[in-house]
Structure 1
Amino acid sequence: MALTVNTNVTSLAVQKNLNRASDALSTSMSRLSSGLKVQNARDNVGVLSTIASINSQVRGQTVAIQNANDGMSLAQTAEGALQESVSILQRMRELAVQSRNDSNSAVDRTALNKEFTAMSAELTRISASTNLNGKNLLDGSASTMTFQVGANTGTSNQITLTLSASFDAETLGVGSAISIVGSDSAASEAAFSAAITAIDSALQTISSSRADLGAAQNRLTTTISNLQNINENASAALGRLQDTDFAAETAQLTKQQTLQQASTSILSQANQLPSAVLKLLQ
């Protein structure tokens, strides 16, 4: 190797290695402090794009899970109110059967009919007051509701729930026109028969709607479970792509620290090489 003064090739080579070790050391420190092995496009262009795509899906599906849970809450609220309506109708049926017994006095029948009328009014109140987040569910105004249960577009990522029926007493046929009091035995029999028929029809209507709500809840439960599984696997894949392997990165940090220290020491010696020319001139 030629001994020169103007160009210290050895020093330049050592500086290059020192810079490389310093850059690698800085990268390792950044990865260890952030917990991410891919932080920008410089680290890995292809992987960064994949991370962005998976992260978008994970975040979208997280929102979709919340949407499905909101749909579940809505269906449960409506179904719970209808369960209470069933209890009311069953009580109204009991009152009708009790009133038909000829052992009752006129006063007894009047008292029974008052409770019957009060129960009918409660049906209407439940229909008008059952709501979630300001949306009435049982008065027919809810109509068809759509829940976005996927991170992407398309009907396959949506679930619809129809609540277009009204469940007030008049619509169910057990409103003011129904009474369990008759002026005589024949009239009482007619009133009893009409009340039982109307109540049984109302119970059938509610049972059908509850079945639809139950099916919707089961579907939403399955959807939520599936979305959670997808998110779990996607998050695991995301972790493998972007999370720092602390054991490997710590070893890399130690290696680069050693190389940096060695390069610094060697650079000091390399910078002294031109001074050897002076010895030749002495």
Structure 2
Amino acid sequence: MIVNGNGLSKLLNNKMKRTQNSLEKTLGKISTGQRIRSAADDASSLAISQKMLALTRGSQQAIRNVQDAGSLVQVADGAMQEMANILQRVRELTIQAMNGTNTQVNGSLNSLRDADTIVIQNEIDSLKKI
């Protein structure tokens, strides 16, 4: 009768490889802090967590979009306020032009008012482009 000693060493070698693989997986989970690293760990939980991550990212993008829209509204509000100030100045200039008491300097004032009105119109046009 011949005793084969190779079988036992192969069995022990296979067990050692499995133990080593299991140890590597466990250490990988510990080092990353994740219970699921691949579909082989838990396929259904992985799918659920990926869907939840996608929903979270979508919500974060929606929040950024709302913040951007708020900023845009603030810019538009600032432009509208500036237009209101400009129109108030036009009103003041119009009332001054209608005042007949400044007859001697009326020509000079009208020239200045005309130039001011042109500048104001240019400002309004530039605000419209915003």
How high is the TM-score relative to the length of structure 1?
Answer: 0.37
Partner of 2:35: 37
SS state at 1:39 partner = coil
Partner of 1:73: 71
Counterparts of 1:133-144 in structure 2, within 5 Å, are: none
After TM superposition, give the deviation of residue 89 of structure 1 in Å: 0.8
Is 1:62 aligned to residue 60 of structure 2? yes
The answer to whether the Cα contact below 8 Å between 1:95 and 1:112 also exists between their aligned partners in 2 is no
SS state at 2:83 partner = helix
Among residues 90, 113, 116, which one is paired with 2:88 in the alignment?
90
Partner of 2:127: 126
Mark the runs of 5 or more structure 2 residues left unpaired by the alignment: none
After TM superposition, give the deviation of residue 15 of structure 1 in Å: 5.8
The answer to whether the Cα contact below 8 Å between 1:31 and 1:37 also exists between their aligned partners in 2 is yes
* Corresponding residue pairs, total: 126
The answer to whether the Cα contact below 8 Å between 1:85 and 1:126 also exists between their aligned partners in 2 is yes
After TM superposition, give the deviation of residue 57 of structure 1 in Å: 1.1
What fraction of aligned residue pairs are identical, expressed as a percent?
30
Which has the bigger relative contact order, CA under 8 A and spacing at least 6? Answer: 1
Counterparts of 1:1-282 in structure 2, within 5 Å, are: 5=3, 18-105=16-103, 106-111=106-111, 113-114=113-114, 115-127=116-128, 129-130=129-130
Mark the runs of 5 or more structure 1 residues left unpaired by the alignment: 131-282
How high is the TM-score relative to the length of structure 2?
Answer: 0.71
After TM superposition, give the deviation of residue 46 of structure 1 in Å: 2.0
After TM superposition, give the deviation of residue 6 of structure 1 in Å: 5.0
The one-letter code of the counterpart of 1:116 is T
After TM superposition, give the deviation of residue 25 of structure 1 in Å: 0.9
- Structure ranking higher in strand proportion: 1
- Structure ranking higher in helix proportion: 2
The one-letter code of the counterpart of 1:111 is S
* In 2: Cα distance, 1:53 partner to 1:35 partner: 19
SS state at 1:93 partner = helix
After TM superposition, give the deviation of residue 70 of structure 1 in Å: 3.1
